[in-house]
Amino acid sequence: MGVPMKILFDVSPLGMHGRLATGGIFRVIEEITKESVANAELDSAFTAIASIWMSTGTSGYFRRKAPTLKRRFDPSWHMTFIPPIITDTLRKHIFEWDLAGRPLSVTSWLARCAWFLMRRAARQQVPSGPFDVLHSLCDPLPPRSLVDCRARVITIYDVIPLIHPEFFPETTVPIFRSTLASIDPSRDWVVCNSQSTKRDLMKVIAIDERRIEVIPLAADDRFHDRSTPDAIASVRRRYHLPACRYLLSLSTLEPRKNLAFLIRCFARLAATPAFSDIDLVLAGPKGWLTDELFATFASDGRIQSRVHFPGFIEDDDLAAVYAGALAFVYPSLYEGFGLPPLEAMKCGTPVITSGTSSLPEVVGDAAILIDPRNEDDLCAALNTIATDPVRRLQLSRDAAHRAAGFTWQKTMQRHADFYRRILSTDDVPGPANQGSP
């Protein structure tokens, strides 16, 4: 195996709090952090280069949730005594206002200025090297001169803000462009989580496809098909889920998830005998541009008592919420990967999802694929779930089998193999010292 490779991971998103720390990318970075330490080929260290408050928040994350790894965290700026009230205020005014699609207040502009100055200051001190690879798991790569490393890698989860800007607030697109602008296509390397994202990326930046590695994500072990009836009943009470059978969708409530479309299809079927005891649960935090969603919900009084919005579901309760559902329905218009369908499948829940973008790569033949713009298509799939118990059982078995092939151990090993390949190429400098491979 040789000497372990020295990898510095920029895990800045672990410094996020509140609803910003509930998304799929946050969970992905948590799993990669844990698995990188468990992989014997890697000598992993962690940093948060994005800004002072991210560095402060990430230091707090390791202290609270991963104390055994804290010694591996090397903050990019060492004023970790900044009071949390200051960083929390900045987070609120910089991000929460944007996510809600509201105009920026004077306070928000001042917060942005403070954040910019803190970001500049943060980059005056960076982790000591040398490292074999710097891997940013989300944020823009820092200036090359600031981190002593042989190669740089960045993970790109999707490029949807560029190809479908209509799904996002206006402020999202320039932020995303800054991430892509940090990539040097002739020297840096990219990890994408699906072939679909790789194809999209190559449309927006000129990069040799040999510099891009496709590494699928996984659903962690909290998702399983062993939820007991008592556990399912408990989460029903906790989140005020219906006592009858329910169809589940789970995501941030935002246009790309196509939930108004799902409500319309459910409304078409709700009065039929097959759906007399079936409700619809749309779980997840409120995001942005939700006017169409809630207007659709309010437009039909017959279904308002049968469509439920329980809000954010705690991670420890997700498996039981998935397992209690008749099916998981995810008619997303576009995905970079699509973790929720995989999580549902690992819980043995039948899945209906879109046959677009990356989703067929994730679910394979173990789900019902639909056209997310064709109401007849989704209605037919929902009717199959409601009326065909044999088909439901087969989908459940196929889903669990398919999901078992996605593990974080495999994901991390593919990262290690990619680092090895990068370091063996002719355009990567040799080891900076004898401690590197």
Hey, do 5-218+407-423 and 229-403 end up sharing a CATH topology, with the first three levels equal?
A: yes
User: Greater confidence, 319 or 16?
Assistant: 319
In this prediction, residue 96 has a pLDDT band, given cuts at 50, 70 and 90, of: very low
In this prediction, residue 430 has a pLDDT band, given cuts at 50, 70 and 90, of: confident
Q: Residue range 329-340: average pLDDT? A: 97
Lowest mean pLDDT among 45-54, 58-67, 113-122, 364-373: 113-122
Kindly give, in sequence order, each residue whose CB lies less than 8 Å from that of residue 80, ignoring residues fewer than 6 positions away.
55, 56, 59
Domain ranges of the chain: 5-218+407-423, 229-403
CA distance 226 to 360: 26
Task: For the chain, give the percent of residues with pLDDT over 70.
Answer: 84
Tell me which CATH code domain 5-218+407-423 carries: 3.40.50.2000
Is the pLDDT at 101 greater than 50? The verdict is no
Task: Please provide the size of the chain in residues.
Answer: 437
Q: Residue range 7-26: average pLDDT? A: 79
CA distance 135 to 126: 14
Q: What is the DSSP string of 335-391?
A: -SS-HHHHHHHHTT--EEEESSTTHHHHHTTSSEEE-TT-HHHHHHHHHHHHH-HHH
Per-residue pLDDT of 19-55, as tens digits, reads: 555 578 999 999 999 999 999 999 999 998 877 667 7
pLDDT of residue 411: 98
Cα angle value 27/30/36 (rounded, 5°):
135
Per-residue pLDDT of 171-200, as tens digits, reads: 888 889 999 999 999 999 999 999 999 999
Report the side by side order of strands in the sheet with 5-10.
42-47, 5-10, 131-136, 149-156, 189-192, 212-214
Tell me which CATH code domain 229-403 carries: 3.40.50.2000
Kindly give, in sequence order, each residue whose CB lies less than 8 Å from that of residue 279, ignoring residues fewer than 6 positions away.
242, 244, 245, 246, 247, 306, 307, 308
Is the pLDDT at 156 greater than 90? The verdict is yes
Question: Residue 238 in contact with residue 331, Cβ under 8 Å?
Answer: no
pLDDT of residue 63: 85
Is the pLDDT at 124 greater than 50? The verdict is no
Helix (H) / strand (E) containing 283: strand 278-283
pLDDT of residue 65: 86
Q: Residue range 239-259: average pLDDT? A: 97
User: Greater confidence, 172 or 268?
Assistant: 268
In this prediction, residue 99 has a pLDDT band, given cuts at 50, 70 and 90, of: very low
Classify the C-alpha dihedral 122-127-128-133 as positive or negative: negative
The per-residue pLDDT of the chain, averaged, comes to: 88
Classify the C-alpha dihedral 26-30-35-41 as positive or negative: positive
Question: Residue 156 in contact with residue 190, Cβ under 8 Å?
Answer: yes
Q: What is the value of pTM for the model shown? A: 0.86
Kindly give, in sequence order, each residue whose CB lies less than 8 Å from that of residue 3, ignoring residues fewer than 6 positions away.
435, 436, 437
Per-residue pLDDT of 49-73, as tens digits, reads: 877 667 777 888 888 888 888 889 8
10 Å CB burial of residue 21 (0-12, 13-18, 19+) is middle
Per-residue pLDDT of 374-411, as tens digits, reads: 999 999 999 999 999 999 999 999 999 999 999 999 99
pLDDT of residue 15: 84
* Nearest of 1, 63, 9 to residue 35 by alpha carbon: 9
pLDDT of residue 127: 59
Question: Residue 245 in contact with residue 277, Cβ under 8 Å?
Answer: yes
Put residue 379 in one of left, alpha, beta given phi > 0 → left and psi -120 to 50 → alpha. alpha
Per-residue pLDDT of 340-355, as tens digits, reads: 999 999 999 999 999 9
pLDDT of residue 90: 52
